[in-house]
Structure 1
Amino acid sequence: MHKGMVLILAVLIGVMVAVPAALVSLDRNDRPVSSIRVDGGSSASSLDSGPEVKVYLSKEKKMETFPMESYIRGVVAAEMPAHFHPEALKAQALAARTYIVDRLSRGDFSDMAKWGEQAEKANVTDTVNHQAYLTDNQLKEQWGDHYETYSARINQAVAETAGQVIEYQGKPIYAAFFSTSNGKTENSEDYFSEKYPYLRSVSSPWDKASPKYRDRKQFQVADLVDKISQSTGKQVAVEASTGGDWLQVTQKTEGGSADKVQVGDQVFTGRQIREALQLSSADFTFQLSEGIVTVETKGYGHGVGMSQWGANFMAKQGKSAKEIIRHYYRGVELGSMNTYLKKN
Structure 2
Amino acid sequence: MKKIKLLIVLASFLIALTLIIPAMLVLPFSGEHQARGKLGEDLTKASAKETKSTSTSTADSDTAVEVAVFRSSKKIIEKVPFEDYLVGVVAAEMPAEFKEEALKAQALAARTYIVNRLVSKDTMGVPKGAQVTDTQIHQVYMNDEEMRRNWGKDYSWKKEKVLEAVQTTGGQILTYDGKPIDALFFSTGNGYTENSEDYWSGNIPYLRSVSSPWDKKSPKFSNQKVLTVKEFEAMLGVKIGSGSTIGKIVERTTGKRVGKVNFNGKVLSGKDIREKLDLKSSDFAWERKGENIVITTKGFGHGVGMSQYGANGMAEEGSNYKEIVKHYYKGVEITSAEPMMATITAQK
**In 2: Cα distance, 1:63 partner to 1:290 partner:** 49
How far residue 250 of structure 1 moved from its aligned partner, in angstroms, is: 2.2
1:237 aligns with 2:245: no
Which amino acid in the other structure matches residue 205 of structure 1?
P
Q: CA RMSD in A?
A: 2.2
- When residues 48 and 139 of structure 1 are mapped into structure 2, their CA distance, relative to the original with a 3 A threshold, is farther
1:134 aligns with 2:142: yes
Secondary structure of residue in 2 paired with 1:325: helix
1:215 aligns with 2:215: no
Structure 1 residue aligned with 2:330: 330
**In 1: Cα distance, 2:250 partner to 2:244 partner:** 13
CA contact (8 A) 2:62 2:341 kept: no
Structure 1 residue aligned with 2:99: 85
> Identity of counterpart residues, as a percentage?
47
**In 1: Cα distance, 2:190 partner to 2:277 partner:** 18
1:62 aligns with 2:62: no
**In 2: Cα distance, 1:47 partner to 1:221 partner:** 57
User: Higher mean Cα deviation, 127-136 or 56-65?
Assistant: 56-65
Cα-to-partner distance string for 1:248-287 (whole Å, 9 max, x where unaligned): 3221101000000123441100011111111110000111
Cα-to-partner distance string for 1:81-134 (whole Å, 9 max, x where unaligned): 01100000000001001111000000131432xxxxxx3111111111111100
Structure 2 residue aligned with 1:33: none
**In 2: Cα distance, 1:204 partner to 1:47 partner:** 36
CA contact (8 A) 2:193 2:305 kept: yes
Cα-to-partner distance string for 1:151-173 (whole Å, 9 max, x where unaligned): 00000000001111100010000
Structure 2 residue aligned with 1:187: 195
Of the two, which has the highest radius of gyration? 2
**In 2: Cα distance, 1:62 partner to 1:239 partner:** 48
CA contact (8 A) 1:89 1:157 kept: yes
Which amino acid in the other structure matches residue 239 of structure 2?
A
**In 1: Cα distance, 2:87 partner to 2:61 partner:** 8
Which ranges of 4 or more aligned residues in structure 1 deviate by more than 4 Å? 41-44
CA contact (8 A) 2:193 2:211 kept: yes
Secondary structure of residue in 1 paired with 2:215: helix
Which amino acid in the other structure matches residue 178 of structure 1?
F
CA contact (8 A) 1:72 1:97 kept: yes
1:94 aligns with 2:96: no
Secondary structure of residue in 2 paired with 1:165: strand
How far residue 47 of structure 1 moved from its aligned partner, in angstroms, is: 11
CA contact (8 A) 1:238 1:265 kept: no
Structure 2 residue aligned with 1:303: 303
Secondary structure of residue in 1 paired with 2:200: coil
TM-score, scaled to structure 1: 0.81
Structure 1 residue aligned with 2:160: 152
- When residues 163 and 75 of structure 1 are mapped into structure 2, their CA distance, relative to the original with a 3 A threshold, is same
- Structure 1 gap segments, 5+ residues each: 1-35, 113-118, 230-235
Structure 2 residue aligned with 1:288: 288
Secondary structure of residue in 1 paired with 2:86: helix
**In 1: Cα distance, 2:65 partner to 2:336 partner:** 13
Cα-to-partner distance string for 1:22-43 (whole Å, 9 max, x where unaligned): xxxxxxxxxxxxxx99xxx957
Structure 1 residue aligned with 2:279: 279
Cα-to-partner distance string for 1:209-248 (whole Å, 9 max, x where unaligned): 000000111111111111112xxxxxx23344xx233423
CA contact (8 A) 1:46 1:159 kept: no
- When residues 46 and 89 of structure 1 are mapped into structure 2, their CA distance, relative to the original with a 3 A threshold, is farther
**In 1: Cα distance, 2:163 partner to 2:213 partner:** 29
Which amino acid in the other structure matches residue 171 of structure 1?
K
CA contact (8 A) 2:61 2:341 kept: no
How far residue 50 of structure 1 moved from its aligned partner, in angstroms, is: 5.0
Cα-to-partner distance string for 1:4-60 (whole Å, 9 max, x where unaligned): xxxxxxxxxxxxxxxxxxxxxxxxxxxxxxxx99xxx95773997252211111122
CA contact (8 A) 2:100 2:165 kept: yes
Structure 1 residue aligned with 2:121: 107
**In 2: Cα distance, 1:194 partner to 1:91 partner:** 25
Secondary structure of residue in 2 paired with 1:45: helix
User: Higher mean Cα deviation, 150-159 or 55-64?
Assistant: 55-64
